[in-house]
A and B are shown apart, each in its own frame.
Chain A
């Protein structure tokens, strides 16, 4: 191990740490909703507060995203790799479930605050 190796390791650690902090500040709190995008375009935004089944049928295939107990998980997908069904459930801001073959991203979005503060928002509507 040489001096430049150590510098490289420190740089990678700083970068990872910096990105992590930035991510936490952007809000690792529980999100308020899941935004589903297909091919980069918004397919729909769904509240995490109510249990629901979101069917995502496109020309690329079929997916079913399920929301239960404030968490979203991909329960059905007819994509060739099936990786999206293996991904763990999401509930915190910016966590994602990705189905690459179907070009689907489900991302938790919210005000960056707790779900309690979301309620007045819903009521206001």
Chain B
């Protein structure tokens, strides 16, 4: 148990840092005037932190960081609706990314693409449910492509960061 305590002691600052980073991304995203035609939808830049987390931490820890980020960001910069959007996108993409990671044969880019695409699909589903209208699916092609592009970029960046972090601080994660 001594070992666990020590790991915990080292990991708490890491959690805090990842949550803080993810919040910064969410804030930047809230400032970006990007509209996909469906109000309140986000690009999912904070997914970068989730992808990095999936390759450095346990899935439960990543989920905790992800939910913390969504609730904090929603509380600070958003409204009730943006929390529902983010939770739908965040949870769906988390589930799909952990699944693809388990399947093997996908690189971080593939995992991240699945995350980006499902993040947008989750938001679209919530919009359709809230509005009780399938009209928003008009924007599905745009949102799929947007998810593909952000997913690819995030996958490439996350890959580099994870490599560096693993090199830099072996003792933290071994």
Contact A98 B144 (CB under 8 A): no
Contact B131 A103 (CB under 8 A): yes
Contact A98 B105 (CB under 8 A): no
Contact B105 A2 (CB under 8 A): yes
A80 interface hit (Cβ, 8 Å)? yes
> B residues touching A (Cβ–Cβ < 8 Å)?
33, 35, 37-40, 79, 81-82, 103, 105-107, 109-110, 113-114, 117, 127, 130-133, 135-138, 140-141, 144-145, 147-148, 152
- Sorted nearest first, the 3 A-B pairs with minimum C-beta distance are A40-B132, A83-B39, A5-B110
A125 interface hit (Cβ, 8 Å)? no
A15 interface hit (Cβ, 8 Å)? yes
In the complex, A107→B107 CA distance in Å?
Answer: 40
Contact partners of A100 in chain B: CB under 8 A: 39-40, 81, 127, 130-131
Contact partners of A88 in chain B: CB under 8 A: 35
Contact A8 B106 (CB under 8 A): yes
Given A81-B40, A86-B35, A103-B130, residue A2 in contact with residue B138 (CB < 8 A): no
Contact of A16 among B127, B133, B144 (CB under 8 A): B144
Minimum CB distance partner of B104 in chain A: A4
Given A2-B107, A3-B105, A107-B135, residue A20 in contact with residue B130 (CB < 8 A): no
Cross-chain pairs A/B with CB under 8 angstroms, 26 sampled: A1-B107, A2-B106, A4-B103, A4-B105, A5-B107, A12-B113, A12-B144, A12-B148, A13-B148, A16-B144, A16-B148, A19-B140, A23-B138, A37-B131, A81-B39, A81-B40, A81-B81, A83-B35, A84-B39, A96-B138, A100-B39, A100-B130, A101-B81, A103-B130, A105-B131, A105-B133
Contact B106 A94 (CB under 8 A): no
Cβ proximity bits A78-91 to B, threshold 8 Å, 1 near / 0 not? 00110110111000
Cβ proximity bits A1-44 to B, threshold 8 Å, 1 near / 0 not? 11111001100110111011001000000000000010110000
A73 interface hit (Cβ, 8 Å)? no
> A residues touching B (Cβ–Cβ < 8 Å)?
1-5, 8-9, 12-13, 15-17, 19-20, 23, 37, 39-40, 80-81, 83-84, 86-88, 94-96, 98-101, 103-105, 107
Contact A37 B141 (CB under 8 A): no
In the complex, A77→B81 CA distance in Å?
Answer: 17
Contact of A9 among B33, B35, B130, B148 (CB under 8 A): B148
User: Nearest chain A CB to B156's CB is how many angstroms away?
Assistant: 9
User: Nearest chain B CB to A52's CB is how many angstroms away?
Assistant: 21
Contact B131 A98 (CB under 8 A): yes
